[in-house]
Amino acid sequence: MARNMITGKETQKMQEYTQEQIDRAEHMGIAIPADVKEQIFEYANLIGEEEKVRTLVRSLTDAINQADEDRVEKLLDDAKMDIQDLPDPTIGKLELRDYGYTAEDMVPLRKAAALDYHRMGSKIYCLGSDGSKGEYASKEMIQAHEGLFGMAISYNGLWKQLIDHGMKKGDLCAKTGLSSSTIAKMTNCESVKLSVLEKICKELDCNFGDLIDYVPDNKEK
């Protein structure tokens, strides 16, 4: 589990849900090893989606029941990759909600990741436990802030870059070695890890800020 993790009702609810899924499997006589349970809970806390947790537990239960160690290993590796695909693999949206920022407009970051993304040109916000986010943060503001940080994501800049380079999404996959599933995540405005964006920047000869746009609030002022 992530160091200095903030826990509250959202995380507790997910832990209880995950335990229920594990209990159902074990009530059928299928013993899930302790190390596998630990990885399931880590996945649940960071990914924070009941459907994905349920699917992982059921798939692992089936693989364990069939004594298919290779499949168990692959399922756990895939789960780890999902975590690593988060912009900051040490924090998920459940922790952000437990911290007090409940709006769905930010990808959560800790300070180290916030500084990295700021260095690459992304617009970072210092988030308050009262639900506030303020203006774009400077490096000094990030260093001084003791709470969590957020980054709003839209990849409109990337799609414009592809048009300018006369490329399609498939071309980008071929040139960078990125999977089609990673590009699909970006198409759906889902977060991807920093190394993915660095590969794209290198291929397109652009800056991080050229790929990601700020997603403004739709609230009336």
Q: List, in sequence order, the alpha helices (H) in the chain.
A: 9-27, 34-47, 50-65, 69-84, 93-99, 111-119, 139-144, 156-164, 169-176, 180-187, 194-204, 208-211
pLDDT of residue 215: 54
Average pLDDT for 84-107 = 90
> What percentage of the chain reaches a pLDDT higher than 90?
67
- Count the Cβ atoms, other than its own, within 10 Å of residue 154: 15
pLDDT of residue 1: 44
Spatial contact of 92 and 84, defined as CB atoms under 8 Å apart: no
Q: Which residues contact 31 (CB under 8 A, 6 or more apart)?
A: 64
Instruction: Name which residue leads in pLDDT, 163 or 213.
Output: 163
Average pLDDT for 196-217 = 79
How does pLDDT run across 159-187, given as a tens digit for each residue?
A: 999 999 999 999 999 999 999 988 988 88
Whole-prediction pTM value? 0.74
